[in-house]
Structure 1
């Protein structure tokens, strides 16, 4: 079941071979979490979506108000009876026609949803091991910060992780600085400083990244900084964790031979759950 341009279809949407998202990755998307019929951080998602559409020169329909898109998402999860806790993907793609140069910049959207088991975020007491992925680099440019349908680096890095019995991989930019993980933004605690790479270094402009920065500033004796992280810094870190909207906060327990604490991760998770329960 999907919502395609405002119509809820009982079957999965069948795209044509001339779909621009399929042919060229000509689309952007938002991954959202619904809890108790409420879309978490939806205003942040909405404005990021519109900013992304403007950057890649999509025509934003007059109907694309915050209220309209919210109603379309909630209508779908309601029809699927998963309003209590759901994962939602909202994809916007340029309408078919043309080659690299489109015939016009009008768009369509599709919304997909699946049930999640838990409402609140939780940390599983399991190992989570990562390593660097160095086959390809993420460029320091504005497009790298967007959630576009071109995620081939994240895909190949995820396959590399599977092949090497890892849970995720850390990505680097052309300066060889670590910028993010395949599944979210990266944070590093070192000497009471919580560090995350700046957006200008090419990392995703993450919604949970924004929430984590805000919550971390409320914790005593922790200084929050946006600056570069080198591969050498990872070996000296006290704690590493990944953030995204679906998982919340995912502690990294091992990088190569170094093992990490999860104390700050757990403290931030408590604050995160308090924030979404208000």
Structure 2
């Protein structure tokens, strides 16, 4: 998992039957019914930083000419908070089931995929987990729930597809770990510094540029493009357009760069994945 400055809390979500769900802290005014976390407690005797509560209502405070939030702590205690004292805990689409992380995707499920119900009916409750047995287009799928012996018909609006995340994250971690191992080998075991690597690249590029000029391939590569630029430049009044020199220079630079990258097989994919 990539590092982030976002504070994440894994809490039981009663709207999903108590399934563990990831919440993130959001710095905004809460709404009635939302879950909040105290981050700058004014009154340490009644509540502390880190305490969580549900917002029950908003109350006008005439003495301070503002509003405060009345909330209920886990122990049932009612407290009053100003906006500066808390952050909203916003639910994400990521849930924890049997020690694994899943993303709840809002799309039609495929046969064999795992789903979670998000509504309640006479047959199933919120937060029930099941596997898709077969489809009944266009509105339904048949799900075999873990707590039931037979498959039940479930409309698409009543479920979310559970997409496993751990496998994707482990793949990324393995790639990142491989990069770090190579980096440590280069710097620590072989004693090669960043300056040494830059000098190696500089020498390799210089050699390829020299070969390119000596072989005459540069004329072949950029000649046609420069002829086209010259023709374009003399169209208006027989004078070259402003910036012609820079455009020719950029064309040569681009083509030489492409040639060198191809010959040296320069690969930047791993670097891009780490960003």
Which of the pair has the greater relative contact order for Cα pairs under 8 Å at 6+ separation? 1
TM-score by structure 1 length?
Answer: 0.22
TM-score by structure 2 length?
Answer: 0.23
User: Radius of gyration: which is bigger?
Assistant: 2
